[in-house]
Structure 1
């Protein structure tokens, strides 16, 4: 009489945990051939293949588990990990989000989602947030703190990275990769400042700044055009209040952008114009438009009746808006 499939899966899990994934695969293959509807067995096979650095068969096994009745969150998690290993990051992110949707309180799903988000520099802030949620759900799991430290390291948030890595080492003192990353954080924290932010930080900052610049372009171009038409044939002091409201709305967009960024991303945002010429042109053009609008607003309230500054503000807004539209966030 053959061994029950549940016992085989348990033995395979033990082999994988002991660092013998190939033996686990050899054990599971014939058992699953005889019991092809055992979802947990397919998940365990996928996990063994992942530990053996075999993402292709791992993905096949995880997909088999997805069509069976079983722990679909586990299957989605394994699917995301295999897709990440294969470089298919968009699909990995979809699988990771589905895993979290099914098990929002499972820290392992949050970790997988954080890793999938971190594949793109623009997703690093969200990756750090998901990893932080994983540490909240599982405060005794070193892996959750390691992923949080990795995201914070790439964001340039040295303080958060060091705290996360130190906690991970306290929970798992034998984690050599965590110890190496902690040493890297301490070197960067205590070393001389770099002349340019890392590429990851610049990418994350650019992904945040371009939508804000698009909103500013819409506000300034539309607002200046409406004010120009309303100022004919002669502006009234009431238009000064509208101009002031337009300036306040633009400053609110800028404030929201800066307050929404964290750590190294905020520093990269402030330094982005020095490293991205298109951003510099837009910032200068919109800055001039806001300064001119502010001065014109005050002048109107004091009794002036000129529209020339408003025309200059409109031209600056059009220049910055054209760069935003033509640049397309690239």
Structure 2
């Protein structure tokens, strides 16, 4: 039963990332009829409803996840966002504070708290403090800086807002929403009135479309980590077999198997890129910049492949060393550990 629901959750994440949250809802509904006690599926459903602009059913789904004992911080975050969109700001703040209490080290909880606090002018200083805490917890997350910039701009703290927006753009140069807010901040420096598509602070509102973009990045990352982990396992396992086969003196024939191993890893990555939704492909190429841990893990695995190919070349030239192979296996092992850590950190990123 676990495999089908897991496949449904992955497909739902793909649909939401592709800007089709209502199709994700349609996919999750029957799955939840068959698996009514699956708390993560209720959270996914709540997130899809939010991206579809449906806060009422999103709140219902988030409450159901809480009753089932799922990830309380995630469910409370979703409930806070739904309550905020329903205009129930006091309840939204309570839910957001509870998510922070549950996971004080989770930057996403601080971000949601900052967002719901920012809706009330009396709470905007506290909203800045929550956003600053999110930045301290996740200095490599552009979203944390974006929320800090939004909160600071609405509090008319222009210097903090500009610094935050600049930091967000350094981490994610393709974020048009942040770029627009920074340009508006520079042009007006002090907002005058409400414009279409903007709030009273002259900032772009975070619509379901922009939330879907953030969900797409998280979905692409969560799909990539298992594939990188598979590549790491292939490199470590294959490298150890080659090490055993090549002792005490490796031959050029064994070296060609090393090259074949690298080729198999390339095929695994190519098949993954071919099968993912087209909307994710550009995101996947940007992920090493958006998620530094992805870049580090990918770099270490590439270095392992380079060592294996170097070993192939050296054996073909008549050398009889095992050192490049050993270094390749060690790099692949480090990459595997990074994949485990990255996969754990990316879970629930929606």
* Aligned mates of 2:14, 2:166 — CA distance in 1: 29
The change in CA–CA distance for 1:144 and 1:192 in structure 2 (over 3 A counts) is: closer
Larger radius of gyration: 1
Structure 2: 5+ residue runs without aligned partners?
193-199, 202-350
State whether structure 2 residue 92 is matched by structure 1 residue 77: no
Residue in 1 that maps onto 2:125: 125
- 1:46 deviation in Å? 0.3
Q: Residue deviations 1:175-213, cap 9 Å, x none?
A: 222111101211234x899xxxxx98xxxxxxxxxxxxx
Residue in 2 that maps onto 1:157: 157
- 1:19 deviation in Å? 2.0
Q: Residue deviations 1:258-304, cap 9 Å, x none?
A: xxxxxxxxxxxxxxxxxxxxxxxxxxxxxxxxxxxxxxxxxxxxxxx
- 1:2 deviation in Å? 10
Residue in 2 that maps onto 1:210: none
Q: Secondary structure at the match of 2:37?
A: coil
* Aligned mates of 2:116, 2:191 — CA distance in 1: 32
Q: Secondary structure at the match of 2:139?
A: coil
Figure out how many residues of one structure are paired with residues of the other and give that number: 195
Within 5 Å, which residues of 2 pair with 1:161-172? 161-172=161-172
Residue in 1 that maps onto 2:41: 41
- 1:26 deviation in Å? 1.1
Mean CA deviation greater in 142-151 or 171-180: 171-180
Within 5 Å, which residues of 2 pair with 1:252-267? none
State whether structure 2 residue 66 is matched by structure 1 residue 53: no
- 1:32 deviation in Å? 0.2
Q: Residue deviations 1:102-140, cap 9 Å, x none?
A: 000000000000011111111000000100110111111
Q: Which runs of 4+ in 1 moved over 6 A?
A: none
* Aligned mates of 1:42, 1:62 — CA distance in 2: 6
State whether structure 2 residue 113 is matched by structure 1 residue 113: yes
Q: Secondary structure at the match of 2:95?
A: helix
Mean CA deviation greater in 173-182 or 113-122: 173-182
Which structure is richer in relative contact order (CA contacts within 8 A, separation 6 or more)? 2
Structure 1: 5+ residue runs without aligned partners?
194-198, 201-330
State whether structure 2 residue 85 is matched by structure 1 residue 96: no
The change in CA–CA distance for 1:5 and 1:124 in structure 2 (over 3 A counts) is: same
Mean CA deviation greater in 178-187 or 91-100: 178-187
* Aligned mates of 1:39, 1:81 — CA distance in 2: 18
Q: Secondary structure at the match of 2:164?
A: helix
Residue in 1 that maps onto 2:255: none
State whether structure 2 residue 146 is matched by structure 1 residue 146: yes
Within 5 Å, which residues of 2 pair with 1:1-330? 4-189=4-189
Residue in 1 that maps onto 2:271: none
TM-score (structure 1 length as normaliser): 0.56
TM-score (structure 2 length as normaliser): 0.53
Q: Secondary structure at the match of 1:4?
A: helix
* Aligned mates of 2:177, 2:14 — CA distance in 1: 24
* Aligned mates of 2:72, 2:156 — CA distance in 1: 35
* Aligned mates of 2:112, 2:163 — CA distance in 1: 21
* Aligned mates of 2:2, 2:77 — CA distance in 1: 30
The change in CA–CA distance for 1:150 and 1:63 in structure 2 (over 3 A counts) is: same
